[in-house]
Each structure stands twice: as structure tokens, then as C-alpha cells.
Amino acid sequence: MITHGTDKKQSSVLKSISKMTFLPAVTLFILFVILNIFITRRFLTSGFMIGFFTANAPLVLIAIGVSVVLIGGGIDISLGAITCLVNVVFISLVGNGWSFGSAAIVGLVIALVCGVINGIIVGFFRVPPLLATFATTSVFGGIALWIMPTPGGSAPMGLINWYNSLFLGLPAPIFIIVAALLIWVAIKYSPIRIWLYSMGRDEKKAYMSAVPVKWTQLFMYSFSGLLAGIGALCLTGSIGSGDPLAGLPLALSAIAACVIGGISLSGGKGSILGSVFGALFLGLVITTVLSAKINPFYQDFFSGVIILVGVIGATLLSRKFMNKA
Amino acid sequence: MKLTCENISKTFGNITALKNASLSVAEGEIRALLGGNGSGKSTIAKIIGGAVSPDTGAVKIRDKVIKTKSPSNTKKHGIVITSQELGLFTNLSVEENLCICQLPVTRGLFVNKKEIKKRAFEILKSLKLEHLLDKEISELAPNQQYMVEFAKALVQQPDILIIDEITSALYREDVEVVREIIHALKAKGCTVIFISHRMSEIYSICDTVTVMKNGEIVGTYKINEKNENELLSLMTGRDIKDSDLESENNSLVYENTKTILNIKDLVLPRFDSKINIEVKKGEIIGIAGLQGHGQSEFLKTVFGLQGGIRLEIDGTEKHITSPIKAVKSGLAFVSGDREKEGVFGERSVSENLTAVNNLVLKKTRVNEMKLLKDYGVVFGSTRQQITTLSGGNQQKVVIGRWTSSMPLVLLADDPTKGIDVQARRDIHKIFRDLADAGSAVMMVSSDDEELVELTKHTHLSRIIVMYEGNIVKTLMGKDITKENIIAYSMPKGGGNK
């Protein structure tokens, strides 16, 4: 084969770029940051940044959680319901005089248990994950409504104040997101990463290669459950009260964020970083629509159109890259 | 005895895959399993490897019954199975794939990347494949993937190694490396069960051979006890003589034959080469060459899989921009990769057979029963899921899908990969009949002998040899020999690559 040295170098650079599945999401994110610098008043002030991250940290966290499930070839649509459940349990406990710390720990344990239940149903009873988590959505969401039929209660002021403040010069929610990412980094260096990607590509082959498929599935649903729990505490800090329905839409938005971030619904492809930027992009779309002072009745419509245009553009762009490499 | 299988039976639905099969293999023995389509070779291999559990019977190692419940269970006993259905993950690197069965960890938690790299390098070096380190599986050529699959088995330091047809996609050079490795394992006392359809490999690699037919063991023989025709007779249950293979006519009447497909200046971007060839009506063209010299890219390009291409088909200029246009212009493409590009795994035999006719061409119905019977497909009902058939039978159905669409030119990319000798001959006959009916066949094969066999018995045939994306030689008539193919596929100016 005759190829010139520079050609080869160039094509290998293109190839490694085309492997960065998160690139479209990052591009969209940057475009919308630039756009908002012009249309959103005080966009680059710390006050705005705090508001942006407090509102969007739950989505980012749940997107991180569901990414792991999607990469492993599963799907989890129950995370919104888990968020609701933890939110109302936390508020109820605090309302009954529990301390912030113990209520938070109970909330996180409940989230983990919900995830473990999903994991057992999918991993050990071999129920298709969409059905399993569809059913548990109703179960977890139902319990949340049972505990708190209407929005109410209030979060401890300490939580709200800290969550909505600057910590070491940065919006506090950023530290929670970074902490969650650090957990992922630890997992990344364990065998679980290889198991996840192998299962996502082909579960049968993974089983044939002695990958502990059931246990890895148990792990991934537990992990996503736990992240939904952390997301729920953030949501509580953001809305300041209990609401049995507030978290529900997060389930699908998080999956959308992952897909925008380059994760494939058929599994085995993509990165967590992409999902984070996918979620931040979705947050920026809402900011954009709000800043454009669009009539609230049309806001959903316009944010939908913006997402569609963005996603189509990103898909075309990344396909072009793929073909070149 | 090192490994014993006792009275193993297995049925899938109403198909009996194994009937009371018993088998014992000694320490350091290399045993070939030989049998036609659906004779049960792969099933017994999968049972020993823990991928399929038997209905009755037991697997024993050194006279102790072992549980064959799951692959991770049998791996503990040192049984490693490597099969034609590759166990590789295209989204992981070569070294991750090699070590996935047993990832080395530090402090019980983290993957030891250095150790993975070290193990992978050692194994790849012994296979002369060091250059594959750090690559992703998706970047490798098919035969390299099979070599990595073989390496993945070696990393696990097998005590009993089952090789299920991985050599079917390998080229001569690779098979030689595999042979050396197997003999080194044998010296260490490893027991090897070797499944292959290439007789020459069985003779050069194995000590003993067990012949299977219809799920039963016919017998076990020392390899030098039986010649090729005797083994074939045992396999098929009918007498096979060399005279069966004699050709009746080998004349070349190229003048006045109509050109059915005219390929002008076809560019293979990877090689920056140009290909010109006129394909005649009723012709069979074998495409030979060393691994990865553009043979299958050439066919795929003609079928519109690599972007738009202009072709002259049956006298009219056609712009083929997609496979659907190719099909509508009279082309057909049979891939050697059944799993990915051949069968619709979740669908029935009947749907697989009629897919092109019913869904793409909207032609009249296919006489399914007649076609399946003519092709000698072994099946229960046309409504059964296609993946319940053996590999060779699946491939015949796929070929039937295309031949029944009456293509002008059938493009076949190593279509007999991993298929037994009898089924291979059946497929050759199908191709010849198609050519006799006025179509043309272009076929790539990784097995030179197969190309010689196919073209030798055809009225109008030639073999083109490709090198670095160019046609370097066209062989016709008496020149069609394995030796010539080998000679012309080697790089010029002496020296082996």
C-alpha cells in the first residue's frame, strides 16, 4: 500500500476524532454558550451560573447514571420515579424532625434499594429491561404519591442555602457532579468498564467469555439508582420542597441527553462525558427559550424545535467525520 | 482418559442434534471432528464448552463428571472453546478482547493494564501478530479477527482446547502458524479437538479423526488409516471416487459470448487501483489472491456498498448508488459473514428464502419446497427459525434467496466459509447451474483449492488473481492450478511479505 506519511497522519487524527463520540454534544454545548452570551442577560455572572447548575444538576446526575446502563446494553426509565420517591421521603423525614444527614442517608439507601430491585429483575429474572423499569416506575412513583399526594413540606434552609451558593468560587452543584464523575472514573479503571462495553455489544458473547453478566447488570441498575438518589437531593435543594411528580420527566430527558452525547441505545458505545454535555445542552436550550421571552404556551414547542435542529445538525456533522476517517 | 463424553443426547425442538454420542480423547491428542452439515460437531463442542447443556449424558475429565452448566464453569476445568461465531467485541481493543475472560487486577479492584498488555503481546508475538497490539477489533481484516479469536483461547492456557472451524477463514500462512501452536500445546499435554472442513488441514494437524453423521458417531480412526475419499464416504454414507469430480468439458468459447457486466475503471480507494473487466454471460470467475488484497472490496464496490458506481449491465449504463439499486439492476450478493450480512436470525426459513423476491423485487412466489429440496437443505418446517439450522444449511437458504431472484450476476464473497465439504460441493453445483442458465458468477474464496475445483468443471470460466487491488493475472483452462494461483498472488521481485 502506498500512502504518504502526512496523509496517514491526517487520517489517523481524523480517526481518533471520529472515535470521540461526545464531540457533537460538546459542539452543541459550546454553540449554545456563545449564543446565550449574546441573548441572555448576565449570562456569565456567578448568580446566573448558580441558577443554571442548581436547576440542571439533577438531570446531569441522572444522565450519568443512565449512561452506565445504556452502555451495558440495558435501559432504565424508572430513574424519574426513584427521584420523586427519594424527594418525598427526604422531605417527610425532615418534616418529622429528622436531621438533614440521616434523612439524606435514608434517601440514598432507598434509591440504592430501588436500583438493586431493578437489577435483580433484569439480571436474575431475565425480564427485558424496558418492561422491568416501566413496571417499577409505577411502583416507585406510586409509593411517592402515597407518601405525599400533593406537593408540600420544605427542605432544610441549610441545604437550600448551601446548594444555591458559591463553594470555593464555583457553584456548589458542580462539586456534586464532579464527585459523581469521580465514582465513574474509579469504575473505569476496574474490570466493570470492559464488562459493560462487552455486554453492550453482545450479551451472549460476553456470557461465553465468562463475563459475570448477571452481576454486572445488578451493578449497573444499582449505580443508576444511586445516582438518581443523589439527583433527588439536588432536586430538593433546587425546588426547596417535596413534589411527588417533579422528577418524572427527568427519566426520558436523561436518556435523550445520553443519546445526544453519543451513547447508542443498542449499547456498547459512547462515553459518560458526552452525556454530561448532552444534559448541559438540554439545560441551555431551556435557558435560551426563556431568554427569548417566548410565550410560555409555545416554550415546549420551541425548545423541541431547537433540540431537533441541533440533533440533526450534530448527526450530519459526525457522519461526515466518520466517512472521512 | 483425559476427556470423555458419555452417551450425550441433545434435541432442539423436534430436531435431534446428538444421539447417544460417546467420545474419548487422550492427553496430548489432537482429534479431528469431521462431519457434514448438522452432523452434531458444533453441538458436541458447545456442550463440552458449557455453552449448551445436554439433555442426557455426562462430560468427564480424568474420569470425574464435571458440571457443564456455564462457560465460566467449564473454563475452571481448563476447557476453552474457540469458535467460528467469533467471541470478539468490536468496540474493545485487541488486548482487552484477549484478556476479557480473566482480567488481571491489582489490589483486587483495578484492571492491571500493564499486565494485559504484557500477556497480549506475548501471545500475539507467538502468532506473529505483534503489530495488532493497540488496535480495535473493528479495524482488523476478517482473517486477523479469527487469529485474535484463536489467541484469546491461548491466553486462557487451555488444558482442553476446542477449535470450532476458526481456520475456515484463514489463509495458508495463518494456518501454518496455528498448526505450529497446536503442536506446541500437544507437547505440553494439552488435548485438542479440531473441527475443520479443510481436509488438508486435518491431515497435517491431527492425530486421530472422529467421523460424525446425523448426530451420531460413525467411528474414530488414526489419521493415516483412511484417505480423503474414505473419510468422505463415511461422512456422507455414499461411495466417493475421484472420477466423480472429473470434468466433462473445459473448453473456452469466449468469442461471440455476450458481455453481461462491463466494469470500467473501478477504483479501490484503499489501493488507489483501477479495475477493468468484462464479465460474460454464463461465466464463472474465481477471484484469488492473498489476504486483504482487495478481493472482497472489489465485489462490495460492484454491489454499491462503497458508494455510487457506474456499470454497464446487460448493455445498458446503470448508476448503482445503493444495494437496492444493484438488486433491481440484476446483481446479487452473497456474503461469507452469515451472521452479520446473511441470515435474518430472528426470522423463519421461508421468510429468509423469499426476502429479496417478496420485499425488494415484488416478483412471483418462489417454489420454496422445491428449491429447498433441490439444494439439499435439511430442515423440519419452512416456518422454523433459520438459526435452528446448521451453518451450511443456513447458507444454502441465503444463496437460495438470491438465486431465486434470477440475478444476471451473482457476487459471492467467500460464501462457503465454515461449511462442510458436501455442502460446499452442493453450493458449487448451484453456482454452475446458475451459470448454465445464463447468469454469471463472481466468487472470492480464501481457499485456492476451492476456486480451482469450482472453475475446473465449468465450460466458461477463469480465475483472476488480485494483488494490491489490481488484477495481476487471469488464468484460464489448463493454467488453472493451485500452484499458479499461489505463484501469481505472491509479491513480485521475490521474497515473502
Query: Which residue among B182, B212, B242 closes a domain?
Result: B242
Please check whether residue A85 is in contact with residue A246, taking contact to mean a CB–CB distance below 8 angstroms: no
Residue of B89, B134, B157 for testing the chain A interface, max A β-carbons within 10 Å: B89
Please check whether residue A39 is in contact with residue A267, taking contact to mean a CB–CB distance below 8 angstroms: no
How far apart are the CA of A210 and the nearest CA of chain B, in angstroms? 5
Please check whether residue B409 is in contact with residue B330, taking contact to mean a CB–CB distance below 8 angstroms: yes
How far apart are the CA of B121 and the nearest CA of chain A, in angstroms? 19
Q: Cα–Cα distance between A75 and B396 in angstroms, integer?
A: 37
How far apart are the CA of A286 and the nearest CA of chain B, in angstroms? 34
Rounded to the nearest angstrom, the gap between the alpha carbon of residue B78 and the centroid of all alpha carbons in its chain is 27
| B66 belongs to a structural domain | yes
Asked if the Cβ–Cβ distance from A268 to B89 is below 8 Å, we say yes
How far apart are the CA of B50 and the nearest CA of chain A, in angstroms? 9
pLDDT for residue B128: 87
Q: Which residues pair with B476 in a beta bridge?
A: B462
Which run of H or E residues covers position B272? none
Query: Which residue among B242, B269, B286 closes a domain?
Result: B242
**CB contacts < 8 Å between A and B, how many?**
59
Please check whether residue A196 is in contact with residue A66, taking contact to mean a CB–CB distance below 8 angstroms: no
Does this model's pTM top 0.90? My answer is no
Contacts of residue A43, defined as CB under 8 A and 6 or more positions apart, other chains included, come to A36, A37
Please check whether residue B169 is in contact with residue B418, taking contact to mean a CB–CB distance below 8 angstroms: yes
Please check whether residue A247 is in contact with residue A58, taking contact to mean a CB–CB distance below 8 angstroms: yes
| B250 belongs to a structural domain | no
* C-alpha cell belonging to residue A176: 456534586
What number of helices (H) and strands (E) belong to chain A?
14, 2
Asked if the Cβ–Cβ distance from A212 to B109 is below 8 Å, we say no
How far apart are the CA of A74 and the nearest CA of chain B, in angstroms? 17
In a shared domain, residues B60 and B131: yes
Chain B residue with CA closest to A190: the answer is B110
Q: Residues of A1-29 as b/e, b for ≥16 C-beta within 10 angstroms?
A: eeeeeeeeeeeeeeeeebeebbbbbbbbb
Q: Which residues pair with B106 in a beta bridge?
A: B110
Q: Which residues pair with B8 in a beta bridge?
A: B21
Which run of H or E residues covers position A196? helix A191-201
Asked if the Cβ–Cβ distance from B72 to A193 is below 8 Å, we say no
Sequence letter at residue A98: W
3-state SS class at B347: coil
Total number of domains in chain B: 2
Contacts of residue A166, defined as CB under 8 A and 6 or more positions apart, other chains included, come to A46, A50, A172
pLDDT tens by residue, chain A, 325 residues: 344 444 545 556 666 666 778 888 898 999 999 999 998 888 888 888 999 999 999 999 999 999 999 999 999 999 999 999 999 999 999 999 999 999 999 999 999 999 999 999 999 999 999 999 999 999 999 999 999 999 988 888 888 989 998 888 899 999 999 999 999 999 999 999 999 999 999 998 898 888 999 999 999 999 999 999 999 999 999 999 999 999 999 999 999 999 999 898 888 989 999 999 999 999 999 888 888 888 888 888 988 898 888 888 877 877 776 665 5
In the block, residue with C-alpha cell 439439499? B376
Label the pairing between strands B259-268 and B273-280.
Answer: antiparallel
In a shared domain, residues B42 and B174: yes
CATH code for the part of the protein at A23-39+46-165+191-320: 1.10.3470
Indicate the DSSP class of residue B355. I
* C-alpha cell belonging to residue B102: 480473566
Sheet holding B470-476, edge to edge: B331-335, B409-413, B440-444, B284-289, B461-467, B470-476
Q: Cα–Cα distance between B344 and B336 in angstroms, integer?
A: 14
pLDDT for residue B495: 32
| B107 belongs to a structural domain | yes
Sequence letter at residue B293: H
In a shared domain, residues B205 and B85: yes
Taking the Cβ of residue A2 and every Cβ of chain B, the question of whether any pair is shorter than 8 Å is answered with: yes
Domain boundaries, chain A: 23-39+46-165+191-320
Asked if the Cβ–Cβ distance from B272 to A2 is below 8 Å, we say yes
- In chain B, residues with a C-beta closer than 8 Å to the C-beta of A190 are 105, 109-111
Residue of A208, A213, A319, A323 for testing the chain B interface, max B β-carbons within 10 Å: A208
In a shared domain, residues B283 and B224: no
Please check whether residue B123 is in contact with residue B154, taking contact to mean a CB–CB distance below 8 angstroms: yes
Q: Cα–Cα distance between B236 and B240 in angstroms, integer?
A: 9
Q: Cα–Cα distance between A195 and B96 in angstroms, integer?
A: 10
Report the interhelical angle of A79-95 vs A46-71 (nearest 10°). 130
In a shared domain, residues B223 and B268: no
| B160 belongs to a structural domain | yes
Q: Cα–Cα distance between A112 and A106 in angstroms, integer?
A: 10
Label the pairing between strands B56-61 and B3-12.
Answer: antiparallel
Range of the domain at B407: 259-489
How far apart are the CA of B405 and the nearest CA of chain A, in angstroms? 32
How far apart are the CA of A219 and the nearest CA of chain B, in angstroms? 15
Query: Which residue among B217, B242, B267 closes a domain?
Result: B242
Asked if the Cβ–Cβ distance from A201 to B71 is below 8 Å, we say no
Put residue B160 in one of left, alpha, beta given phi > 0 → left and psi -120 to 50 → alpha.
beta
Q: Cα–Cα distance between B336 and B168 in angstroms, integer?
A: 11
Taking the Cβ of residue B72 and every Cβ of chain A, the question of whether any pair is shorter than 8 Å is answered with: yes
Please check whether residue B311 is in contact with residue B262, taking contact to mean a CB–CB distance below 8 angstroms: yes
Which run of H or E residues covers position A142? helix A129-147
In a shared domain, residues B200 and B86: yes
Q: Cα–Cα distance between A143 and A137 in angstroms, integer?
A: 10
Q: Cα–Cα distance between B192 and B78 in angstroms, integer?
A: 12
Asked if the Cβ–Cβ distance from A193 to B89 is below 8 Å, we say no
- In chain A, residues with a C-beta closer than 8 Å to the C-beta of B152 are 209
Taking the Cβ of residue A188 and every Cβ of chain B, the question of whether any pair is shorter than 8 Å is answered with: no
Q: Cα–Cα distance between A256 and B373 in angstroms, integer?
A: 50
pLDDT for residue A85: 97
Chain A residue with CA closest to B273: the answer is A1
Chain B residue with CA closest to A212: the answer is B72
Residue among A250, A218, A242, A246 at smallest CA distance from A78: A250
Nearest to B75 among A198, A200, A210 (CB): A210
Number of other residues whose CB lies within 10 A of the CB of residue B198 = 18
Residue among A121, A92, A126, A98 at smallest CA distance from A225: A121
* C-alpha cell belonging to residue A57: 444538576
Q: What is the 3-state secondary structure (H, E, C) of B306-325?
A: CECEEEEECCEEEEECCHHH
In a shared domain, residues B176 and B269: no
Contact residues, B window 48-67, toward A, CB-based 8 Å cutoff: 51
3-state SS class at B2: coil
| B349 belongs to a structural domain | yes
- In chain A, residues with a C-beta closer than 8 Å to the C-beta of B110 are 189-190
* ipTM surpassing 0.85: no
In a shared domain, residues B330 and B474: yes
Q: Cα–Cα distance between A61 and A86 in angstroms, integer?
A: 14
pLDDT tens digits for range B208-257: 999 998 889 999 999 999 888 788 788 877 665 554 443 334 344 455 67
| Dihedral of the alpha carbons of B16, B17, B18, B24, in degrees to the nearest 10 | 180
Sequence letter at residue A80: G
3-state SS class at B198: coil
Chain A residue with CA closest to B293: the answer is A1
One DSSP character per residue, A14-38 reads HHHHHH-TTHHHHHHHHHHHHHHHH
Asked if the Cβ–Cβ distance from A198 to B89 is below 8 Å, we say yes
For residue B357, what is the domain's CATH number? Answer: 3.40.50.300
Taking the Cβ of residue B141 and every Cβ of chain A, the question of whether any pair is shorter than 8 Å is answered with: no
In a shared domain, residues B331 and B376: yes
| B432 belongs to a structural domain | yes
Label the pairing between strands B64-66 and B56-61.
Answer: antiparallel
Nearest to A1 among B88, B92, B468 (CB): B468
Taking the Cβ of residue A214 and every Cβ of chain B, the question of whether any pair is shorter than 8 Å is answered with: no
- In chain B, residues with a C-beta closer than 8 Å to the C-beta of A212 are 72
Asked if the Cβ–Cβ distance from A206 to B91 is below 8 Å, we say no
pLDDT tens digits for range B169-201: 787 788 889 999 999 999 999 999 998 877 888
Q: Which residues pair with B334 in a beta bridge?
A: B412
Asked if the Cβ–Cβ distance from A205 to B87 is below 8 Å, we say yes
- In chain A, residues with a C-beta closer than 8 Å to the C-beta of B91 are 197-198, 200-201, 268-269
Chain B residue with CA closest to A19: the answer is B91
Please check whether residue A254 is in contact with residue A59, taking contact to mean a CB–CB distance below 8 angstroms: yes
Label the pairing between strands B15-25 and B160-164.
Answer: unpaired
Contacts of residue B110, defined as CB under 8 A and 6 or more positions apart, other chains included, come to A189, A190
- In chain A, residues with a C-beta closer than 8 Å to the C-beta of B164 are none
Total number of residues shown for chain A: 325
Which residues of chain B fall below pLDDT 70? Answer: 14, 37-38, 168, 238-256, 364, 490-497
Asked if the Cβ–Cβ distance from B111 to A194 is below 8 Å, we say yes
Contacts of residue A247, defined as CB under 8 A and 6 or more positions apart, other chains included, come to A58, A80, A81, A82, A83, A84, A87, A231, A232, A235
Q: Cα–Cα distance between A175 and A230 in angstroms, integer?
A: 12
Residue among B401, B395, B331 at smallest CA distance from B371: B401
| B248 belongs to a structural domain | no
In the block, residue with C-alpha cell 439444494? B375
Largest CA distance in chain B: 76
In a shared domain, residues B339 and B390: yes
Asked if the Cβ–Cβ distance from B71 to A209 is below 8 Å, we say yes
Taking the Cβ of residue A266 and every Cβ of chain B, the question of whether any pair is shorter than 8 Å is answered with: no
- In chain B, residues with a C-beta closer than 8 Å to the C-beta of A210 are 71-72, 75, 100-102
